[in-house]
Amino acid sequence: MTRPATTPPSDAAEDEEFQGLPPLPSGTRNYMTPQGHRQMRAELMNLLDVERPKVVETVSWAAKNGDRSENGDYLYGKKRLREIDRRIRHLTRRLDIAEVADPSAHHGRDQVFFGATVTYADSGGQEHTVTIKGIDESDSLRGEISWISPVARALLKAREGDEVMLMTPAGLQRLEVIEVRYPAPGEPA
């Protein structure tokens, strides 16, 4: 019995899956704050200039020590090199399509755009504060959400005092925008 042919996943899809990040919707830009862009670029430079050369040196040294099948330094080093190279490809792709948007350009405005810190009340009256950031820089533990998240999509372009609708697994939920803030020029986003 022959096995059906399968198409191997593309490097991009494999890299996204490895990173645990959702892929960007096709045809969209990779918006990020200046601070997020700097951090991502710094990580890429560190991988290229510091971490990868150290691991290559270790692997090269370990390869000279004989039987590679039982050489932990060699096996771990090769695995780590694959991880580093995958991350380098991911960072390079994301930076290539990055569009840096400075949220401070909207300082003093009351309409929700990329980079806004928004306080809103849900249907139950509970207040939440979120900052809308790029997909690669958002951190839900710090109250940062990606601009492609359902909450951010519902809030975008709303103004203070507006009510917007958010579709959730439990049904339609009404959100009221209470406050919109942007960092002042020169402040980190």
Least trusted range by pLDDT, from 47-56, 70-79, 82-91, 131-140: 70-79
Parallel, antiparallel, or unpaired: how do β-strands 117-121 and 171-181 relate?
A: antiparallel
Kindly state whether residues 37 and 52 are assigned to the same domain.
Answer: yes
What torsion, rounded to 10 degrees, do the Cα atoms 99, 32, 19, 5 define? -30
> CA-to-CA distance for 69 and 48, rounded, in angstroms?
27
114 part of a folded domain: yes
Give 120-148 pLDDT, tens digit per residue: 999 899 999 999 999 999 999 999 999 99
Least trusted range by pLDDT, from 36-40, 68-72, 80-84: 68-72
Kindly state whether residues 113 and 167 are assigned to the same domain.
Answer: yes
Alpha helices in the chain (DSSP H): 11-19, 34-46, 52-63, 72-96, 150-155
Give 151-184 pLDDT, tens digit per residue: 999 999 999 999 999 998 989 999 999 999 999 8
How many domains are contained in the chain?
2
Q: Which domain holds residue 35?
A: 28-100
Q: What pLDDT sits at residue 94?
A: 93
Kindly state whether residues 132 and 86 are assigned to the same domain.
Answer: no
Kindly state whether residues 86 and 117 are assigned to the same domain.
Answer: no
Mean of the pLDDT values across residues 48-64?
92
* Host H or E run for residue 100: strand 98-100
Q: CB-based contacts of 134: which residues, under 8 Å, 6+ apart?
A: 30, 31, 32, 33, 36, 98, 146, 147
Task: Assign residue 136 a region (left: φ > 0; alpha: ψ between -120 and 50; beta: otherwise).
Answer: alpha
What pTM value is reported for the model? 0.77
109 part of a folded domain: yes
